[in-house]
């Protein structure tokens, strides 16, 4: 079914509160096979509430309205809806009883604020009986409209427990199947991925592929819909396999899996411990590695050797080598990797040295030049990259590539063959 | 002025991505004195995009559209807008040149994806010239429409730098005077800041103060409006001085000034060079310091001593001391700070050791316990903090506090008196 979500509250349109309830509802509805065509956020303005609801009803199969159901004077949703749908505000004594029963702090004497909660548009039904949380639905023009509180946890509970299930019944026989997966891709630009995967959706209305650059990587979402469970599973499995085949080693993970978590898993799988020597990334790779819970199992630590002196003192890089090739050179990167590996006793050591900018670039080594060294018991290798953008972007991209070098080295077991770096 | 915000993207209507850009825009517009009447989120559907834009234009004085401006086939905003406004898609060679100039990775030969970015509705003007970020505006029915990328940091930068100022000018003859400043506050919660500053706005319609928690710090925005220039400047100067007085040392910077940039400036002012020894923060403080251009002038580097072995090997921390007090202790933090200062020859050295979680906590040292050591020529001091939250939050908060320790030490010149840490 096609639905619309309307969130009401001045606190949302003034940017004081981030609207997480519409996001939550959209995700739940999507997972249940519905399509949300529009999400609208408006202030506590009765005319606008009425107009927005009528517009949504004209377009959608169902509408979810959140917010403005409270007891204070700026909560205007129920009144506005009564006016717009021409369903007179009606006093529901059983709603008031329910509020009193579940809310022990409520005063026993008649109380205008409490009573306000029991005046609903004619035809309203409470969504749930055992709770004091506001929340009702009514059917108008043969379409269900759900009214939920704006408080996130109350809204989320009612949505999951009552709305999704009522909508499922509403659909009747033809239950729509939806399968989804998120793919995380490293080392390929959005356009390159698009070129590889675009053929999968051609002439295929049931398959949808989305591309989301999350600098410096790209996420790809696959959605497969169908009416029959086994058939949908089958198509999803088929497309999933094709995507994996087309992305090859550039696919590093799915769903919530981060690149640093994948590197950590591979280190554990290979029984290796890691050390790092960072210059231009300034500690970012170390930080990314240590963000993963349990990383102390496979990460010893490292050095941030930002100055040349520290490269000599902490890593034992030869001063003459530094003078001859410069701090940003494959030679220095190799010496840094070997140095930190020797100092720490790590199995695998990565070193990064580069020019993050904005100054420090030369014609031969422009801003964005980054050299990597990778040292293992099998030997040492190096490679060189070049990144665009501002300082922080060069640092982020250099870090991401460094993590990917570690991933690919372990994936290919090339640290033993001494050629993972060159192939990247 | 009354504005509407339209966010476009299937990733939003499917609940895969939380819409933070509309929230950000609403907050900024509100602070600048505008009213957002509706925020609409829709999928990448050309017809719906066109219809939604036309509806918004009919109601509002200006419209902001975000998302769907990218280079892939699911980015449909510009085409949809061209159709809806009957402004034929027009090729803008200067936009393509600009994209190529700022994006070195762009292929030199003609490329359909790149060229797609240069096809805009007739009458469009780029919002900013020195960036490859998509973003343009056009005037339709005498109302400005702004098209911004959906990527939050790109969108936020363009909004703050170009949209807000253009809207301020847009108001015609009766140019409303708007003065704004952002204050960055460390070491005080939002409610604490609110208590201090709330009296400033009482009965003062021309002064608006906004509070934006940006974990782990809080940003405060001041907006002063008026009709006359000199009078507005005067009031703004007055309120600015009062805010500075009320926030005292907790105000670390204004506008875009980051905590690490302030620390860098203070290091330069004091003629000191810094070294760091990090355990639980895993390199994050080093990275934050090196994000600042020119940081090599005052930052030597440091060690990420995640394992106890490395604390001994790289920093010379006494193994018996580690065994007696544990890795997370004021004693170890002091020894780490002294060790890295000795090894590097830095003037000032900060060490951090703590339990980021989720495991590793004990009754005496729960998750979130973090110890700091600060070593200078005047001696060594230590302090202890405790942070709540998940692993990454403990790491971020511990990093932020570490940077603030450095800032306050140099601000008070207390590194010479050996008591900055205790006072924090």
In whole angstroms, give the CA distance from residue A46 to residue B367: 49
Q: Does B215 lie at the interface with A, CB-CB under 8 angstroms? A: no
Tell me the CATH class for A259-423. alpha beta
Closest CA–CA distance from residue B364 to any residue of chain A (Å): 21
| Residues forming beta bridges with residue A90, ordered by sequence position | A120
pLDDT at B418: 46
Q: What percent of chain B has pLDDT over 70?
A: 92
Per-residue model confidence as pLDDT tens digits over B227-260: 888 999 999 999 999 999 999 999 999 987 999 9
Beta carbon pairs, A and B, within 8 Å: 266
* pLDDT at residue B150 tops 80: yes
Residues in chain A with CB shorter than 8 Å from the CB of B36 are 13-15, 43
pLDDT at B125: 85
3-state secondary structure of A383: strand
Instruction: Kindly determine whether residue A310 and residue B301, on different chains, have CB atoms separated by under 8 Å.
Output: yes
* pLDDT at residue B169 tops 90: no
* Residue ranges for chain A with pLDDT beneath 70: 103-111, 129-133, 169, 171-176, 414-424
Q: Give the least confident one: A297-301, A349-353, B136-140, B371-375.
A: B136-140
Residues 6+ apart with CB under 8 A from A8: A41, A42, A43, A44, A49, A65, A66, A67, A68, A77, A150
Per-residue model confidence as pLDDT tens digits over B386-419: 999 889 999 999 999 999 999 999 987 755 444 4
Please list the residue range(s) of chain A that carry CATH number 3.90.950.20: 259-423
Question: H or E element: which one contains A201?
Answer: helix A190-201
pLDDT at A422: 47
Residues 6+ apart with CB under 8 A from A118: A91, A92, A93, A95, A96, A99
pLDDT at B424: 45
pLDDT at A278: 97
The pLDDT mean for chain B works out to 88
In whole angstroms, give the CA distance from residue A170 to residue A3: 13
In whole angstroms, give the CA distance from residue B139 to residue B167: 12
Please list the residue range(s) of chain A that carry CATH number 3.40.980.10: 2-170
Evaluate whether the domain defined by A2-170 bears CATH number 3.90.226.30.
no
Task: Answer whether 0.80 is exceeded by the pTM.
Answer: no
Reference A295, options B387, B391, B370; nearest CA is B391
Fold of A177-254: Alpha-Beta Plaits (3.30.70)
Residue B267: other Cβ atoms inside 10 A? 22
Give me the residue from A55, A212, A300 closest to B11, CB to CB: A212
Residue A401: other Cβ atoms inside 10 A? 22
Residues in chain B with CB shorter than 8 Å from the CB of A309 are 300, 344-345
Residues in chain A with CB shorter than 8 Å from the CB of B358 are 293
Residues in chain B with CB shorter than 8 Å from the CB of A215 are 151
pLDDT band at B132 (very low <50, low <70, confident <90, very high): low
pLDDT at A172: 44
In whole angstroms, give the CA distance from residue B106 to residue B276: 39
Reference B336, options B362, B306, B367; nearest CA is B306
Residues in chain A with CB shorter than 8 Å from the CB of B290 are 280-283, 304, 306, 356, 395
pLDDT at B130: 60
pLDDT band at B153 (very low <50, low <70, confident <90, very high): confident
In whole angstroms, give the CA distance from residue B80 to residue B76: 6
Residues 253-272 of A with CB under 8 A from B: none
Q: Does B278 lie at the interface with A, CB-CB under 8 angstroms? A: yes
pLDDT: which is higher, A97 or B113: A97
* pLDDT at residue B114 tops 80: no
Residues 6+ apart with CB under 8 A from A224: A178, A179, A180, A206, A207, A208, A232, A235, A236, A239
Give me the residue from A23, A41, A357 closest to B39, CB to CB: A41
Cα A377 to its chain centre, rounded Å, is: 38
Inter-CA distances, B63 with A43, A125, A406, Å: 16, 38, 46
* φ, ψ at A329 (rounded to 5°): -160, 150
Q: What is the ipTM of this complex?
A: 0.71
Per-residue model confidence as pLDDT tens digits over B310-353: 999 999 999 999 999 999 999 999 999 999 999 999 999 999 99
pLDDT: which is higher, A376 or B422: A376
pLDDT at B423: 44
Let me know: does B402 contact B285? Beta carbons within 8 Å.
yes
């Amino acid at each position: 079914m096609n639905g619309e979500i309307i969130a009401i509250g001045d606190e949302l349109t003034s940017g004081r509160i981030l609207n997480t309830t519409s996001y939550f509802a959209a995700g739940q509805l999507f997972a249940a096979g519905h399509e949300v065509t529009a999400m609208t956020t408006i202030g506590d303005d009765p005319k606008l509430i009425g107009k927005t609801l009528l517009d949504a009803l004209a377009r959608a199969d169902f509408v979810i309205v959140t917010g403005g159901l409270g007891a204070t004077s700026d909560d205007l949703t129920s009144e506005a809806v009564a006016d717009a749908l021409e369903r007179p505000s009606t006093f529901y004594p059983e709603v008031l009883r329910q509020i009193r029963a579940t809310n022990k702090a409520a005063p026993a004497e008649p109380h205008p604020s409490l009573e306000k909660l029991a005046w609903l548009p004619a035809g309203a039904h409470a969504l749930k009986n055992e709770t004091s949380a506001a929340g009702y639905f009514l059917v108008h023009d043969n379409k269900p409209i759900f009214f939920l509180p704006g408080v996130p946890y109350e809204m989320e509970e009612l949505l999951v427990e009552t709305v999704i299930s009522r909508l499922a019944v509403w659909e009747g026989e033809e239950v729509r199947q939806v399968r989804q997966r998120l793919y995380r891709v490293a080392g390929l630009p959005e356009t390159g991925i698009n070129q590889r995967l675009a053929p999968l959706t051609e002439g295929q209305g049931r398959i949808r592929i989305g591309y989301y650059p999350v600098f410096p990587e790209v996420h790809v979402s696959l959605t497969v819909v169908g009416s029959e469970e086994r058939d949908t599973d089958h198509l999803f499995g088929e497309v999933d396999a094709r995507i994996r085949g087309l992305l090859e080693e550039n696919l590093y993970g799915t769903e919530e899996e981060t690149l640093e978590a994948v590197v950590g898993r591979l280190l554990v799988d290979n029984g290796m411990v890691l050390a790092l020597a960072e210059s231009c990334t300034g500690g970012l790779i170390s930080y990314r590695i240590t963000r993963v819970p349990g990383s102390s199992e496979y990460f010893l630590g490292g050095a941030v050797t930002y100055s040349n002196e520290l490269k000599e003192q902490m890593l034992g890089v030869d001063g003459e080598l530094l003078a001859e090739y410069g701090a940003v050179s494959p030679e220095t990167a190799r010496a840094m990797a070997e140095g930190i590996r020797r100092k720490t006793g790590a199995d695998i050591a990565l070193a990064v040295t580069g020019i993050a900018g904005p100054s420090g670039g030369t014609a031969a080594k422009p801003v964005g030049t980054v050299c990597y060294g990778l040292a293992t018991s099998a030997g040492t290798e190096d490679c060189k990259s070049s990144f665009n953008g501002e300082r922080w972007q060069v640092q982020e991209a250099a870090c991401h590539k460094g993590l990917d070098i570690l991933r690919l080295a372990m994936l290919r077991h090339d640290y033993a063959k001494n050629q993972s770096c060159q192939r990247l």
